[in-house]
Amino acid sequence: MDSPLLSSFGTSGASALPLDPDAIAAMLRLPPPPRDPLDLHIGEITEGTPVRDAAVLVPFVVRSGQLNVLFTQRTPHLAAHAGQISFPGGRVEASDAGREDTALRETEEEIGLARRHVKVLGTLAEYPLPSGFRITPVVGWIEAPFETQPDPYEVADIFEAPLLHFLDQARYQRHEYDFNGRHRHYLAIPYEGRYIWGATAGMLMLLARTLSPRGTVYP
């Protein structure tokens, strides 16, 4: 049976993508796409830097026949990444059963989304940061309706955006800057006045490539 979501992608150049949970899970089981030489935004954890494992949930939300991605916006007073747009997630705790458990636990703590609403489809390739964080993006499928209750200390806003927007690799912007004596690179992908950048944009690019025919850039 054809996925009822395919019509949502009819004008994207991606109409052949079978975007239903089983098909996405199958894509996530494939070997990760090759790294592009231009992917200078992907940091390397240098030798001697303590590695801190973390996991985030990349939430796919089915709402009104459309597949969206759910994001959080961090509160402006936080010491780290204040005001940035991100996925719910955090550090791996010793009591976690695995990376999926970390992502689901952190999502419950940050936005109050009960794990019973999330069907885990698989994971993307690990995303390392020069700071030593090694992030595992866990992809989850969520059917509306559901309730959220954001932690007011950490989360200023929760919003959704169409997955289709992030599958278009031509939308991504490459930037570079100098920070603390080092030259840095990062990706950004704006959406309706919001500025999604850094590791979140990098993981979205990885998602776009994972759900694309290898080597394809959407028009």
User: What local confidence, expressed as pLDDT, does residue 15 receive?
Assistant: 44
d(CA 150, CA 55): 18
**Cα–chain-centroid distance for residue 27?**
16
d(CA 219, CA 212): 12
Contact 74, 86 (CB under 8 A): yes
d(CA 118, CA 65): 18
Collapsed DSSP state (helix, strand, coil) of residue 37: coil
User: What local confidence, expressed as pLDDT, does residue 184 receive?
Assistant: 77
> Could you give all domains of the chain from N- to C-terminal order, each with its CATH number?
16-210 (3.90.79.10)
Going by the DSSP 8-state scheme, the letter that residue 180 receives in this structure is: T
User: What local confidence, expressed as pLDDT, does residue 81 receive?
Assistant: 54
Contact 27, 210 (CB under 8 A): yes
d(CA 68, CA 145): 13
Contact 25, 121 (CB under 8 A): yes
For the chain, 219 residues long, give each residue's pLDDT as a single digit of tens: 334 343 334 334 344 455 689 999 999 999 988 877 677 666 676 677 788 999 999 999 999 888 999 999 988 666 555 568 999 999 999 999 999 999 999 999 999 999 999 999 999 999 988 778 899 999 999 999 999 999 988 899 999 999 999 999 999 999 887 766 777 788 999 999 999 999 999 999 999 999 886 544 333
User: What local confidence, expressed as pLDDT, does residue 57 receive?
Assistant: 98
Contact 69, 60 (CB under 8 A): yes
